[in-house]
Amino acid sequence: MHHLEVRDLNKKFGSLQAVEGVSFSVEQGRLIGLLGPSGGGKTTLLRMLAGLERPDGGAISIGGRNVDALPPQDRGIGFVFQNYALFKHMTVVENIAFGLKVKKWERARIYQRVAELLALTGLIGLERRYPHQLSGGQRQRVAFARALAPEPQLLLLDEPFAAIDAKVRKELRTWLKEMISRVGVTSLFVTHDQEEAVEVADEILIMSQGRLEQKGTPWEIYRAPKTPFIATFIGESTALHDLTTLAPFAEAAVSIANKASLEGHDELQAFVRPESIEISRSHERQPSSAALPGVVSHVQFRGDAWHVEVQVGAQRLTARRPLAYEPLSLGEEVSVLVHRLYLFAGQQSWIVENPFLSLQREKERIV
């Protein structure tokens, strides 16, 4: 039994298909990151889950109960808005207590719950402040406490960190992750920052142009992107124009290309990630048939690594080089070792490991 189930959700604004055929399910207590480019339909999806937007088609059930006919008031959800939408004329305490008063909780119980949430969100001392007297991070926490107060079954957060500066943002998202796992509420949060999604979420849903592209753990999505879009969206993949320049992969690529064209897909797309490329000076590693010769065409310091671009034949590749190694200079001849690349044709995808490399490892093990 899944806690949240979405079946074939559709939404059109005029002629624009904002959400198209989205289906997925979420287990109880999971924290899901909804990731995708701007205009991808993330907010629209979230608003439909909350009942703030009426879907054109599809079904939503929360906690095993179909909520399609229910207004937002009765869905048992908490919503944290992008700009927090705190009630401006109410204090922190009044904001947090609002949902409880609406539900006619007893006074003593409200008092206790609010005190509990104030402590949980670290807002003690700010009880009597109005929203305009709070910092962005504090407002965010009030919004979180307010949404959480009536004990929702599902917490929806629309870009909860968007309006907060980079440093506080990092602290807040760790805080949020802890908080949600402590409370144990199933949560969905929208972001268009992939680092944020990867760091915080148990699972990621990637949406683009209204469609759900892939769902999986951050590692699954990183390791095995299902579509070229995801390969380029998660991590900075480089598209390869001509597979024959990467000699070690040519054979595998040709066999996959044949298989694909048999199935009617003639367009084979290939991507390689900077993290799976190793660049070394010739004396740093034994020459091997797995590696290719290349020429350094650009070097840049990126804080935690060297960002290196190399020209291999007609193909320019982007790679990282650890700071522990000596910096490379422009025009230097290097050996380029590509560990794996991603191939896509139609709906199918393949991860191809460097065949010579695995051969080499095999040998080393035997020796």
Partner 1 sequence: MNQRLLQGSLRSLVLLYFAVLVALPVFAVYGKGLSLGWEPFWQSVTHPLALDALWLTVQLALLAALINAALGTLTAWVLVRYCFPGRRFLNSLVDLPFALPTAVGGLMILLLLGPNSWLGQTLTSIGWEIVYRPPAIVIAMVFVTFPFVVRNLQPLLEELDPAEEEASYTLGASKALTFRRVILPALLPGLCGGTLLAFSRALAEFGAVVLIAGNLPGQTLVASVYIFGQVESYNPQAAAAVSVVLLTLSFLLLFTMNALFGRRTAR
23 vs 255 by CB, closer to ligand ATP? 23
Selected binder of partner 1 within 73, 258, 261, 286 (CB under 8 A) = 73
Report what 81 binds from partner 1, Mg ion, ligand ATP, none; CB cut-off 5-8 Å by kind.
Answer: partner 1
With 0-12 / 13-18 / 19 or more C-beta atoms within 10 angstroms meaning exposed / middle / buried, residue 264 is exposed
Residue at shortest CB range from Mg ion: 43
| Interface with partner 1, residue 88, by CB under 8 A | yes
**Among 31, 147, 200, 268, which residue sits at the site for partner 1 (rule: CB under 8 A)?**
147
Quick one: which H or E segment has residue 280?
A: strand 277-280
Nearest distance from C-beta of residue 46 to Mg ion, angstroms: 8
Point out which residues pair with 279 in neighbouring strands. Answer: 336
Contact in structure between 210 and 18 (CB atoms under 8 Å): yes
| Residue 72 binds partner 1, judged by CB under 8 A | yes
Cβ atoms of residues 186 and 62 within 8 Å: no
The residue among 333, 309, 339 whose CA lies nearest residue 321 is: 309
What is the rounded distance in angstroms from the CA atom of residue 59 to the CA atom of residue 52? 15
What three-state secondary structure class fits 342? Answer: strand
| Residue selected from 16, 102, 239, 330 as contacting partner 1 according to rule CB under 8 A | 102
Distance from C-alpha of 127 to C-alpha of 112, rounded to nearest angstrom: 14
Tokens found for residue 201: 């979420």
* Smaller CB separation from Mg ion, 16 or 330: 16
Of residues 164 and 352, the one with the C-beta less far from partner 1: 164
Tell whether residue 237 is a contact of Mg ion (CB under 5 A).
no
DSSP string, 199-233: HH-SEEEEEETTEEEEEE-HHHHHHS-SSHHHHHH
Query: Does 77 interact with partner 1 (rule: CB under 8 A)?
Result: yes
Nearest residue to 227 via CA among 352, 353, 354, 345: 345
Give whichever of 14 and 71 is closer to partner 1, judged by the CB atom.
Answer: 71
State the nearest-atom distance from the C-beta of 39 to ligand ATP, in Å. Answer: 4
Choose from Mg ion, partner 1, ligand ATP, none: what does 44 bind? Cβ within 5-8 Å by kind.
ligand ATP
Which residues between 152 and 211 bind partner 1 (CB under 8 A)?
A: none
d(C-alpha 50, C-alpha 158), whole Å: 11
Q: Which stretch binds partner 1 (CB under 8 A): 86-94, 220-228, 287-295, 298-306?
A: 86-94
H-type alpha helices, 57-126: 92-102, 107-120
Which of residues 13, 16, 87, 116 is near partner 1 by CB under 8 A?
A: 87
Q: Is 43 in the site for Mg ion (CB under 5 A)?
A: yes
Binding of partner 1 at residue 109 (CB under 8 A)? no
Site residues for ligand ATP per CB under 6 A: 13, 16, 18, 36, 38-44, 192
Neighbouring-strand partners of residue 299: 308
Closer to ligand ATP by Cβ: residue 82 or 91:
82
**Interaction site with partner 1 (CB under 8 A):** 50-52, 71-75, 77-79, 81-83, 85-89, 98-99, 102-103, 146-147, 150
